[in-house]
Chain A
């Protein structure tokens, strides 16, 4: 059976490492999502094109293969990454690509009239994004981003393969030492499920707050833009991004 000593030296730190990897990769992924997502709705074709290339390459790539490549092949080009950061960057790059589709789709769902209103007010492109488009797209983005976060949490198990001591790594180590496979892997699955559950709960709060934000605007315009937005491109965008997640 699992000794308590093992539990404190490997398993508890492993849970912490899993949480850390999730948080860092989510932060990197979110930054990339917004950067690439906004770039993909740029009016300059070259910006759109380059962002599109990023999207296709990292969405088509397997996260595990990318991780292996960053850990084993990147040093060949003179760039050695600590296992943890190889893992975090591979996950962040992959999930940033999926996230950019969410950002692009929900920006596209903002009604044209809203954008035109911004132009009429002589807002700069940046002002329009910050004051009009992003605040309206935000409630549309939150639910798919939550799904993506659960996918990311599950993806973090991959870092164990490149020797990052997360909870899956601790489980494998324990299996090699004791051969008590049944309790080890059952515990692991339950731990991941609990973490996913906690994330879902926490994010539901955020979702409620994002929706509440809508109500603060004048009642009528708020509901009309939401309806139009939902009927427009957000349906298509939703179905596309849903399948992209691995």
Chain B
């Protein structure tokens, strides 16, 4: 039982590599989750049953199965039928796809939260469908969705180490490789602390945002 700061020093360059990969996965994953989630949410409101029903079924299925198994599925099964992707790309797609089903719920709740009178007012003013969405509904919905969306970004950060299990070298992947090579455990502790150090200020920020936007 001993803590060796030299080991930590040795790990640091690879730690920063890992941080970059984690942040990259988080950034692109977030973009996918935000964009795709809006697509799901709008499709779920579609008047056509054949659009609405499959989207509800698929998103429910993704939401209720583990991200880890989905990553294995994307990494080992999808290449049998389609493109084979690098571990990092697979991880980003997996994170984005999984979280898009959560953000879809957020958008849905945000849109449903706009009072019915606003829709009626738009109809009374005979605004077009596109104009109703752009000028009336979405601006009001956005205030409600920003804080929960932010929460999911933090949640995604905490789930991002799962991409290490399919061989992507994020923070955890680097720590794992380093630990195996040197038979030490300091690297894992450093990464554990790093997650708290990143996640805590982020959650404070979101709470402040929530206080400002949701009134």
A243, CB-defined interface residue at 8 Å = yes
Chain A hits for B70, CB < 8 A: 189
Q: A68 touching B214 by the CB < 8 A rule?
A: no
Task: Choose among A61, A78, A185, A239 the residue that contacts B199 (Cβ–Cβ < 8 A).
Answer: A61
* A42 proximal to B (CB < 8 A): no
B residues in contact with A161, CB < 8 Å = 68, 165
Instruction: State the Cβ distance, B53 to closest chain A Cβ, in Å.
Output: 17
Question: CB < 8 Å: which of A66, A73, A168 contacts B68?
Answer: A168
Known: A61-B192, A243-B151. A185 touches B73 (CB 8 A): yes
Asked if residues A65 and B161 are in contact (CB atoms below 8 Å), the reply is: yes
**How many B residues touch the partner, as a band?**
35 or more
Inside 8 A of B65's CB, which chain A residues have their CB? 154, 189, 192-193, 196
Does B147 contact A62, Cβ atoms closer than 8 Å? no
Among A68, A77, A193, A246, contact of B61 (Cβ-Cβ < 8 Å): A193
**Interface hub of B69, B165, B171, B175 (most chain A Cβ within 10 A):** B69
* Contact of A239 with B64 at beta-carbon distance under 8 Å, contacts A60-B200, A65-B192 already known: no
A221 within 8 A of B: no
Q: How far is the CB of B64 from chain A (nearest CB, A)?
A: 4
Which parts of B137-162 form the interface with A (CB within 8 Å)? 147-148, 150-152, 154-162
Interface status of A136 (Cβ within 8 A of chain B): no
List of B residues within 8 angstroms of A65 by Cβ: 161, 171-172, 188, 191-192, 195
Are B192 and A66 touching (Cβ within 8 A)? Answer: yes
- Complex interface bits, A223-237 against B, C-beta within 8 A gives 1, otherwise 0: 000000000000010
Smallest Cβ-Cβ distance to B144: which chain A residue? A239
CB distance A186 to B69 under 8 Å? no
B82 at the interface (CB under 8 A from A): no
A175 part of interface (Cβ distance < 8 Å): yes
Interface status of A150 (Cβ within 8 A of chain B): yes
Is A154 a contact partner of B67 (Cβ separation < 8 A)?
yes
In the complex, are the beta carbons of A158 and B68 less than 8 A apart? yes
B158: contacting residue among A63, A68, A192, CB under 8 A: A63
The residue in A66, A160, A239, A246 that gathers the most chain B C-beta atoms within 10 A of its C-beta is A246
11 A-B residue pairings within 8 Å (CB atoms)? A56-B196, A56-B200, A65-B188, A69-B185, A73-B188, A75-B185, A161-B68, A168-B68, A171-B72, A182-B77, A185-B76
B residues bordering A, Cβ < 8 Å? Answer: 1, 61, 64-70, 72-73, 76-77, 80, 147-148, 150-152, 154-162, 164-165, 171-172, 175-176, 179, 185, 188-189, 191-192, 195-196, 198-200, 203, 206-207, 210, 214
